[in-house]
Each structure stands twice: as structure tokens, then as C-alpha cells.
């Protein structure tokens, strides 16, 4: 099992210059980096890969980002932009040396409309169709698309593991799996560990996020239960710390971070990693 850190904790957008963070990540003991790519033009993937190699790190995953301009259940322009963007990320993932592209790619983050059942069904069919296209491209390039259920305050479309499994069954592509995030599961699942077991072989990626978006282990998530569930399903992928602070203003607003959650931002990464290694290994 590899342990990674999502770049949103420290910067937005991630650019070539952001690779200056890599020595710090390596010194803390991370195996890899989850790179959030807000716009493909922000980075030279070959340069970023060279910097990862230089510092003995891997790219655990590419984190896809969904502002209002990208929405698979939005208007035609938003839908087309999302499909193009996801195909670009598949190509970038190849250069960065990772198989995983992940995120809530069904919708713009923060869109929660509470639409009527008939409209929801129409949106579901639209999203499913686009995911088939995206996953076909990913499969042809030996990549995995990991779909992330979000909590009810961030989306009205897909909140639970069961809904994620329904989408996987509808899309019918081996390239589609689930990204499960302990922060969202803490809100939406009756029992996160049981939800992980239900997802089983369809779990493609894990976000280790504290119940308050602070330091993993300094919260009330049942970490031992989550760790045991991952052992039970024989999960061998990466576990990535994803957290946000007020230091990165754009992401703080998107994630509703209105106060200082921990005294030091670095502690979320460094102390969180120590806890996760002790608990998950």
C-alpha cells in the first residue's frame, strides 16, 4: 500500500513551479503525490514526471477538477468540455506514470439542485452515456476512472457507495471504479467500513480525510474499521490524504473551509501520514 498527498492542501492551481513541494513530501515519508490538474495547460507533464523521479516519488493519481464550466449533466457546452478534459487527463496520466484519474466527474462540484425524479433520471442517462465514452478511451489506454461519491452538501446526484455501484453496473466498463473518501462516507454511509466491503473489487482509490477535514487520526473517523475493511477486500491501491485549509483561498471556498482547523497546515500531512502508516500497515 502506497501513501500519497493531494496537492490541494498546499497549492491551487498546480503548476511546474509547484514541484518545489516534492522534497518536503519525500522528507515526510510519502510514497507519492496526487496531482490536481485544474487546467491541462498549467503543467508540462514530462517536466513534472522528471521531478517526481528526481525526488523518488510516484504520481499516485490525477485529481480531476469540476468548476461550473465542466458538468456532464449540464448544457451541451459543459458536457463536451468535460469529455475533452477527461480525455486530456487520460493522456497526461500516461506521461505521469499513473493509472488512476479520479474525481466527482458526473457534475460541477457544489451543484445541488434537488431536481424532480424524472429530471434526475434524464440526468443519470446523460451522465451514463458520457461515462461510457470516457471509460472507453481510458480502457483503450489502460487507465482507470475512479468515480467519487460526494456528500449531500456538495452534490444532489451521487452521494453513496450504492449509487456509485449502480452507475458502474450501468456503464459496464472495467475501467470504471470508485474513489471512496472517508470524509464523505462519514456523512453519507451508515457504516463506512461495511460500505467499503460492499464496494469490494470496485474500490479503485481511497482518500483518507478527517471528519473535519483536519489531520487523519485527530478526529472521530473509525480508522481501524476502515483499515480492516480495506484488508478484507484485499485493497492494494494508494491511500491519499486529501484536506483543505484557508491558505488556498479558491479551494477553501469550494470546500467551505471557514476557520482554521489545525494549528499548522503541515501537521495535516506529516502527522496524518504517521498515523495512517501505523494504522493501515
Q: Which residues are designated catalytic?
A: 148, 242
Strand partners, 180: 206
Q: For residues 203 and 233, is the Cβ–Cβ distance under 8 A?
A: yes
CA dihedral sign, ordered 250, 252, 255, 258: negative
Q: Please provide residue 266's backbone torsions phi and psi, each rounded to the nearest 5 degrees.
A: -60, -30
Neighbours of 270 (CB within 10 A): 19
Contacts of 150 (CB under 8 A, 6+ apart): 104, 109, 158, 159, 181, 184
Q: Is the peptide bond before 13 cis (omega within 30 degrees of 0)?
A: yes
Amino acid at each position: 500500500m502506497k501513501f500519497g498527498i493531494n496537492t490541494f492542501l498546499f497549492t491551487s492551481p498546480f503548476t511546474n513551479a509547484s514541484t518545489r513541494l516534492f522534497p518536503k513530501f519525500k522528507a515526510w515519508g510519502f510514497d507519492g503525490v496526487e496531482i490536481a490538474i485544474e487546467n491541462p495547460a498549467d503543467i508540462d507533464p514530462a517536466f513534472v514526471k522528471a521531478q517526481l523521479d528526481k525526488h523518488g516519488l510516484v504520481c499516485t493519481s490525477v485529481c480531476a477538477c469540476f468548476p461550473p464550466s465542466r458538468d456532464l449533466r449540464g448544457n451541451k457546452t459543459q458536457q463536451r468540455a468535460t469529455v475533452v478534459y477527461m480525455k486530456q487527463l487520460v493522456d497526461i496520466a500516461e506521461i505521469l506514470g499513473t493509472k488512476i484519474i479520479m474525481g466527482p466527474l458526473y457534475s460541477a462540484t457544489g451543484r445541488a439542485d434537488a431536481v424532480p425524479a424524472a429530471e434526475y433520471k434524464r440526468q443519470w442517462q446523460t451522465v451514463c452515456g458520457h461515462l461510457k465514452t470516457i471509460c472507453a478511451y481510458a480502457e483503450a489506454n489502460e487507465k482507470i476512472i475512479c468515480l467519487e461519491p460526494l456528500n449531500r452538501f456538495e452534490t444532489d446526484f451521487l452521494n453513496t457507495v450504492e449509487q456509485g455501484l449502480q452507475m458502474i453496473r450501468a456503464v459496464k466498463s472495467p475501467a470504471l471504479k470508485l474513489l471512496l473518501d472517508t470524509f464523505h462516507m462519514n456523512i453519507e454511509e451508515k457504516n463506512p467500513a461495511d460500505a467499503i466491503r460492499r464496494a469490494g473489487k470496485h474500490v479503485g482509490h481511497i482518500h483518507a480525510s478527517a471528519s473535519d477535514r483536519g489531520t487523519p487520526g485527530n478526529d472521530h473517523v473509525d480508522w481501524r474499521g476502515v483499515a480492516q475493511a480495506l484488508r478484507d477486500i484485499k485493497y492494494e491501491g494508494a491511500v491519499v490524504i486529501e484536506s483543505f485549509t484557508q491558505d488556498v483561498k479558491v479551494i477553501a471556498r469550494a470546500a467551505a473551509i471557514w476557520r482554521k482547523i489545525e494549528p499548522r497546515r503541515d501537521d495535516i500531512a506529516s502527522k496524518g501520514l504517521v498515523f495512517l502508516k501505523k494504522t493501515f500497515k
